[in-house]
Structure 1
Amino acid sequence: MGIVLSRRGVLCLAALTAGLLATRASSGMARVRAQDLGTAVDSELLFSAAVEDLPSPPALVRLERTTFESGSELSRRTLEGPVFGLVERGVLSLQAEGDAIVSIAERAGTPAQALVPEAGGSVDLRAGDQVAIPAGVPFALANGGEEEASLLTAAVLPAAAAEAGVVPATGGTPAPSSSGSVAVELLGEAVATGWPAPPYLVQMDRVDVGSGEPVPGFPGPVLLAVEQGAFAFALIDGEIQAAASGPSDTVADAATADTVYRVGEGEAIFFAGGLNALPREAVEPDLVLLRFGVASILQDEASIGPTATGGAEAAPAIPPAETPSSAVSQETDATGTAADGERVRVAADGVRLRSSPSTGGDVVAELAQGVEVIVTGEPVAAEGLQWLPVQAADEPSATGYIAAQFVEPLE
């Protein structure tokens, strides 16, 4: 069962699987050398949704697993982009103040059904149930049962909103709760710099890749999180980001053609323009991936399936005896947005001053709108953003990096 969203919320609910919709390769995707891939891989569809609109790029793509102890709750929050979820175990009570969409899984002879809970009311979600929460809809989750519950979620959010602190804290830190705790495990996070043509198919699946079988392709931006095994490749064309603990700098083929990258268990990688099926050596072991991707519904048939082609080009992996690079990151060239020594001011409330040019950097301070800062060096391009090294004009000891889109010239 899948879910359909519009800009204003719910259009309808429909059976929507990867076999019903398909895409064709688009320019800018990662690609592998052309060859007959032969065997297909096993793919378990976890959730899918048809969406008319997504936040404009750069947009944060975030994959998380949230664990709820008995009696715990995730307090009311509102996000500026859609959130898609699958209950993995336990029972969770969802309360939404708008058109959240729920797909109830088939169980014990009861057929699958789709529903839109009454605004302000609550609905119980059990293992296998899906939920989609459109942008701007306040919601809360609680575990009133005796057993632990787990929710796998993917969110697509404006990068600006995320940097301004709209997104809840992640990384396993327990969230405040009346009883028990809520722990968030970040599985992968990256910045999407573009989308295929709308409307979109947003999809999460678990892919089992046998020994020596290719890593499956995907015809749009795709985040791969490794649950078991590892794979290695050399990028020939396209863009990638390391995504295990937060978005990293973009890596392009021109600068890294001779570098081999390895993605292992607990790590993730993001192909910004999609991925062509990636061959692996016969000696490479079984591989299990969580795959979250965005494709265009308007494209032609059979490209969203396990053997999809088109995308970033990568050479086959090297034999395990060799030691590839474990870091999938490289800085891009920055273009000036404010001159060294220039005095500018913060353009929004709650903008974070960070210790490094990354959304994963420690927060030095949260700056109010109108606060003046002084640029202390050249801008740094990372995560699809331009970062300015600055110091607070009224507190020179407060130094760090701020996303350039959150500052404006003094009048």
Structure 2
Amino acid sequence: MTPEEKLQSVFMSVVARILPQTLIQENLKIKNDTLHIGKNQLTLPPKIHIFGSGKAATTMAKAVCDLIPSRIAGGVVVSNMHSESIRDIEVIESSHPLPTQKSVDAGNTLFEKMAALSQNDFFIYLLSGGTSALLEKLPPGVSLQDMQEITQQLLQKGADITQLNSVRKQMSAIKGGKLAQALTAPGIVLVISDVIGDDLAVIGSGPLYHQPYTDAQHILDSYDITYTLPKSSVCRAANNVPHFVIGNNSIALQYAREAWQKYGIDAHIMTSQMHGEAKEIAKCIVAIAKEIRDKHQPFSPPVCLIFGGETTVNVQGKGRGGRNQELALASLQALEDCQGIYILSAGTDGIDGNSDAAGAIVSSKLYHPQEIKTYLKNNDSYSFFHKYGGLLSPGKTGTNVMDMVMAFIL
């Protein structure tokens, strides 16, 4: 098995272990009428309404239905994946990464059905990454075009997920705890986290989680975006619904380390909080890898370094790709013709930016210095890898715990 094949094998084995059905089977247990979530216990009512949103919503819903089939009382889940209805649960296919009218229609439908529940009802909400774009309800004075343009500008200028979702919450009538504010029914939220630190206020822009209001206007100002955020959309008070994180990036990194150990390769988790400009992160990772290869410090090869988190890209060109392919191509540029180092950068959701690939795998075999410079300048990493090889294209995985970078040094 080549180093590239080992990297791909480890990545796909990790994805298999963080699929929603696996996470739900491992974290949720039913004994009589009691639901055990880790060390927490909850007495289940006879009927439970299922709601959810995010890239993993449909697969999470199927897993919950398999766990409590006789208790399902209907509901709505919103995802970017096409699916037929799941038992009595309506499945709505919506838009990502930019919200469209589908997002607004989906948000209005879910909001109305959840708000119609009484205090005698009970719901389980399935929350995962992608919710911020897939689910929207607009307050007076904010148009869909406003939301689309602001989101696009923030993404292009390299805003991180915390900044992006802070702005989105202030422009929304469903985010930032505003969905929770409309409810009378009790319930719980099961979360697959796609943000650094598992901040519940940031995951999916926190539709059922409220935190004290902070004005996000300064974020737009810092990126020279001319738009005045509405004050009227602020959620003044809301009752938080109990949230339980059942999957995150840290778990994925642990699974990766275990997979490398099965190959007899020493592996080290470097961080689950990787963030910053993709090109700069790439330079740091390659510098560490070269130090190990040349000086056996701080580890001796063969070894794999594992990084998790989410980088950003300040988009200047008009090419195809995403942050993972950009990081991989920038790593290749920094590697030059240095042999014995292999790097994978990929998103666990299977889709990177505006491409159909999850990321890429690079080594000195792909080193074409002038072409790399040209493609990076146009943010066209996908086209480079499509031409020279290296794309990792598993398709939509149905899960999302951010990104993983692995540097394998021989």
TM (norm. structure 2) is 0.30
Say which structure, 1 or 2, has more relative contact order (CA 8 Å, 6+ apart).
Answer: 1
